[in-house]
């Protein structure tokens, strides 16, 4: 199951990705035996999302599938019929909105540009200037609001409603659940590729995923354990799911410890893509069901920075958010028979 051959399959996620990015290949799954020995596990692999479809992070997987799907419904065409989407876009210049810490907004704007639509992206006060410039490079305005991530989401939602635009957001709330679920479905390409890229006869026993609002973690949980949307899609049984969050924004860690969704106050972190104070409500039931409180791991900026250097030395160009999974692995209780997969969600700042 790979994105490069998606057009010949009936899987809608694959078909959309293949149609929008016809020359793209699956991202690399690095085997890192030296790290496996260091952590005392049987094998360690890193799924490297530092160059996904020409962008430096995995977010394009969800934004592209969700936007194409919503537009397809709006215009009565198949979401993988890119020519038809562009033809309708030329006549219906609906503006696409999103809130972001960086990568989701850029991915949404990039997809809108590919389809010929304007976009407007909202960011919280903590977003760095280089991240704003990266989003602006997609040819769209960026509005920075004097609020945290949750406040930026509210501002983007209000702006989309006022402009009769389309909000493509990975956070759910009452009457806004369909698009976040489409985004989660788009993320599952990471897991389908990773399963196919493991050596014959090898199956993951543990996966560590960085968490912001938890939508990617929701995709991981649904892939390996199923959920409200359907059964598990992976053939790997009993995969343990662990999460990695910054010390500045441990919303899942706190919620699992409390046994209920618990917003947290956030502060600055070098992991801006994980700087979110509230768990996605749509994801919460599945995350609570599968991830043990002890496996919701919290890492510091210094720990993430050290793993950026460690992974870089092994040929993985991880940014701090992506390296958080390795920082968490060093704190996890793992066994000598574990086959560990780390999801490296992004590359270094300023990469292509």
Q: Is 59 considered catalytic here?
A: yes
Contact (Cβ atoms closer than 8 angstroms) between residue 103 and residue 273? yes
Q: Is 42 considered catalytic here?
A: no
Contact (Cβ atoms closer than 8 angstroms) between residue 237 and residue 273? no
Residue in this structure with the two tokens 């709006």, named with its chain if needed: 74
Q: To 10 degrees, the CA torsion angle through 112, 323, 2, 189?
A: -60
Q: How far apart are CA 251 and CA 245, in angstroms?
A: 8
Of 59, 170, 295, 338, catalytic: 59
CA angle 116, 119, 123 (to 5 degrees): 155
Q: Of all helices (H) and strands (E), which one includes residue 339?
A: strand 339-344
Please report, for the chain, how many H helices and E strands are present, in that order. Answer: 13, 10
Contact (Cβ atoms closer than 8 angstroms) between residue 24 and residue 324? no
DSSP-derived 3-state class of residue 178: helix
Write the burial class of residue 293 (CB in 10 Å: 0-12 exposed, 13-18 middle, 19+ buried).
middle
Q: To 10 degrees, the CA torsion angle through 31, 35, 40, 44?
A: -20
Of 42, 48, 81, 101, catalytic: 101
Please give the DSSP secondary-structure letter assigned to residue 267: -
Residue in this structure with the two tokens 């598990």, named with its chain if needed: 232
Q: How far apart are CA 206 and CA 23, in angstroms?
A: 31
Q: How far apart are CA 57 and CA 345, in angstroms?
A: 6
Two structure tokens written together for 92:
């219906």
Q: Which residues of 252-272 are buried (b: 16+ CB within 10 A; e: fewer)?
A: bbbbbeeeebbebebeebbbb
Q: Which residues are catalytic?
A: 59, 101
């Amino acid at each position: 199951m790979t994105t490069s051959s998606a057009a010949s399959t009936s899987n809608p996620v694959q078909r959309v990705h293949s149609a929008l990015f016809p020359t793209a290949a699956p991202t690399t799954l690095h085997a890192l035996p030296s790290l496996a020995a260091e952590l005392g596990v049987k094998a360690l692999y890193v799924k490297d999302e530092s160059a996904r479809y020409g962008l430096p992070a995995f977010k394009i997987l969800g934004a592209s599938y969700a936007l194409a799907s919503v537009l397809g419904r709006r215009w009565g065409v198949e979401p993988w019929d890119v020519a038809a989407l562009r033809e309708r876009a030329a006549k219906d210049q609906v503006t696409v909105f999103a809130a972001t810490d960086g990568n989701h907004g850029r991915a949404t704007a990039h997809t809108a540009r590919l389809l010929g639509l304007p976009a407007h992206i909202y960011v919280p006060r903590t977003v760095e200037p280089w991240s704003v410039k990266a989003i602006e490079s997609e040819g769209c305005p960026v509005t920075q609001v004097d609020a945290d991530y949750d406040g930026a989401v509210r501002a983007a939602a209000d702006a989309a409603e006022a402009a009769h635009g389309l909000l493509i957001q990975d956070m759910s709330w009452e009457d806004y659940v369909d698009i976040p679920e489409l985004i989660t479905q788009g993320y599952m390409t990471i897991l389908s590729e990773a399963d196919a890229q493991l050596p014959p006869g090898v199956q993951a026993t543990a996966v560590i995923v960085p968490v912001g609002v938890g939508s990617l973690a929701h995709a991981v949980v649904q892939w390996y354990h199923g959920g409200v949307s359907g059964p598990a899609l992976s053939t790997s049984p009993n995969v343990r799911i662990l999460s990695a969050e910054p010390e500045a924004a441990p919303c899942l860690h706190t919620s699992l410890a409390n046994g209920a969704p618990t917003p947290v106050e956030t502060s600055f972190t070098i992991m801006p893509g994980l700087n979110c104070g509230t768990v996605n409500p749509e994801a919460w039931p599945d995350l609570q069901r599968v991830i043990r409180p002890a496996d919701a791991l919290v890492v510091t900026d210094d720990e993430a920075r050290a793993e950026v250097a460690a992974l870089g030395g092994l040929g993985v160009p991880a940014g701090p958010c992506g390296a958080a999974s390795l920082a968490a692995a060093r704190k996890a209780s793992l066994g000598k028979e574990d086959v560990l997969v780390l999801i490296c969600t992004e590359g270094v700042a300023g990469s292509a």
